[in-house]
Amino acid sequence: MNISENISKIKEEIPSEVTLVAVSKTKPNEDILEAYETGHRIFGENKIQEMTEKWEQLPKDIEWHMLGHVQRNKVKYMAPYVSLVHAVDSLKLLKEIEKRAAENERKINCLLQIKIAEEDSKYGIDVAEAKDILQSKEYQEMSHVKVVGLMGMATLTENESKIRKEFSFLKTTFEDLKEEQDSFSILSMGMSGDYKIAIECGSNMIRIGSSIFGERNYN
Ligand SMILES: *Cc1c(COP(=O)(O)O)cnc(C)c1O
């Protein structure tokens, strides 16, 4: 695996308005530094403990994105440094992030994870739940968290038209909610297997792991 080559190749082929998150979960610091040396600064992890260890050990100008499901009791560990939380799925979690962001005198940007795949995935909320959160008095009174957009994961399938349908649904939902949410600017969709389709469907943030760092041994 030539990490720097992979990262340059992806950056060359995506439009400049699409942000690349290099998903470094399970990968060692050396691999992250190899990507860092190319000038890349945005990395994504799916476990708070692993991300925090890497944050402590690596250059402080890295922007860390939390991609995975967040347990409320672990929010405090990432609150001092996390730059974007992709998978918020409840008002309760948002409240905890608000509390810990305030303690750290920070503002933390978040995305709501919308469930767009029909299969398995346990995580994510539906559009009505997202609207409820955004329209709640509690959210509107928060001053340390901001929901800046949506995240979604398409069904793992070879069926391109299915993937396209799911991403298009998320794009439509994003545009719909954006009409009432001035802060909305990020639509995070697309991984190694489907990012080209995601970009065609309107994604402006892609999360790429294995196409940069190679296959993961565990997850
Ligand atoms: C692991 C992960 C990715 C990256 O997956 P690849 O298929 O390796 O690109 C993207 N998004 C989330 C939420 C992930 O957990």
pLDDT at 195: 98
Given a cut of 90, whether residue 218 has pLDDT beyond it is no
Given a cut of 80, whether residue 1 has pLDDT beyond it is no
**Contact of 167 with 152, CB cutoff 8 Å:** yes
114, 191, 213, 216: residue to mutate for ligand 1 pocket, most atoms within 8 A of CB: 191
Digit-coded pLDDT (tens) for 105-141? 999 999 999 999 987 667 899 999 999 999 999 999 9
Shortest CA distance to 92 belongs to which of 122, 68, 72, 66? Answer: 72
Which numbered atom of ligand 1 lies nearest the CA of 216?
A: 8
pLDDT at 101: 98
The size of the chain, in residues, is 219
Given a cut of 60, whether residue 80 has pLDDT beyond it is yes
pLDDT at 87: 98
Which numbered atom of ligand 1 lies nearest the CA of 191?
A: 9
CA of 93 to the centre of ligand 1 (A): 22
pTM: 0.96
Amino acid symbol at 74: K
CA distance 71 to 90: 11
CA of 175 to the centre of ligand 1 (A): 24
CA of 140 to the centre of ligand 1 (A): 31
pLDDT at 119: 73
pLDDT at 121: 67
For the chain, percent of residues with pLDDT exceeding 90: 95
